[in-house]
Amino acid sequence: MASNINDLQPIALTDAGRRELAAALRRLESGRGLIVRLADLLGGAVSRAGKFGLRQIGMSTGLAHKFSGVAEAALSRAYDIAILGLGSPRAGSARLTRAGVMASGAASGFVGLGGFLPDATFTTLAIMREIARIAQAEGEDLSSEDARRACLEVFAFKSPADAYETEGDESELGYFSARLIFQGRTLTMLLSEVAARYGLVLGEKFSLQAVPIAGAIAGAALNAAFLDHYRDVARAHFIIRRLERAHGAEAVRTAAAALAPAPRAQMRATQASDAPFMPA
């Protein structure tokens, strides 16, 4: 096996490989924002309050740096801890992980600001463990730096739809574009960049948990949404990486370019049909 998937000679994907790739792309495309996921659980009022809070957070550069610092601290050791005992009979289940992050979010939302840092640290670690579990199941060698980087990258990806629909510099956050950018980063630089992006997500979490009365409920629900979101992204990411190891990165990206319009159109049609009625 080549040490770099980008060095492999392209091998056309089989029908089964194209189906796997199409499913992974659909998973990325359907990965809606975390605020929208929470709105499904708690209702539009919480979503609107959260968006208002985010606008206030966006005005403060200093607060954004603080969230980035929290994210970097949480991510810096998460991988080393997350892979301990992974795969053993006592490693714990996905259901237990979900219960744990929901309990942590509820406690954080109830306590308020003082509970945010412990919750962010614990939830990030739990999410990283689930990401590593998925990576291992898709054939990644968790002892390698390449697997460490791939797990870390999951925290920074946005869906291809985000890249397609967003103008300017934000387009670099698309899945394949982001991976190309990350290739040129040292591990330290990668951690810093991922932390900056993940810090914005933690800012969303902080804002939503600050909604009066609903804080504890929002904390539990949002943590569950976090876990679901990053699991979905990780599954897609590591399926794509497995296909790249088998067929080469160029072949997979060529196939993805051919497949992308169909899932994107399907996603938009689904979103339009699912959109709630809003009275004028």
Using a pLDDT cut of 90, give the percent of the chain over it: 36
Task: Quote the pLDDT of residue 258.
Answer: 87
Q: What is the mean pLDDT of residues 16-32?
A: 84
Distance between CA atoms of residues 101 and 98, nearest Å? 5
pLDDT at residue 113 in the model: 73
- Residue 47 pLDDT > 60: no
Counting residues of the chain whose pLDDT is more than 70, the rounded percentage is 68
Is the pLDDT at 70 greater than 70, yes or no? yes
Answer left, alpha or beta for residue 139, where phi above 0 means left and psi between -120 and 50 means alpha: left
| Amino acid 278: pLDDT | 37
**Structural Rg of the chain based on CA atoms:** 19
Q: In this structure, are residues 241 and 29 in contact, taking their beta carbons and an 8 Å threshold?
A: no
Tokens of 96: 């237990």
Lowest mean pLDDT among 43-57, 123-137, 176-190, 227-241: 43-57
Write down the pLDDT at residue 277: 37
Q: What confidence score (pLDDT) does residue 270 get?
A: 41
What b-and-e string marks burial along 217-253, b requiring 16 or more CB atoms within 10 Å of the CB? bbbbbbbbbbbebbbbbbbbbbbbbbbbbbbbbebbb
Average pLDDT estimate for 84-99? 77
Give the number of other CB atoms < 10 A from CB of residue 41.
15
User: Is residue 9's pLDDT more than 70?
Assistant: no
Is pLDDT at 268 greater than 50 in this prediction? no
pLDDT band at 5 (very low <50, low <70, confident <90, very high): low
Are the C-beta atoms of residues 200 and 67 closer than 8 Å to each other? yes
| pTM for this predicted structure | 0.78
> Given pLDDT bands bounded at 50, 70 and 90, which one contains residue 191?
very high
Lowest model confidence (mean pLDDT) among 2-6, 136-140, 222-226, 251-255? 2-6
Residue 264 has pLDDT above 50, yes or no: no
- Residue of higher predicted confidence among 165 and 176: 176
pLDDT attached to residue 60: 61
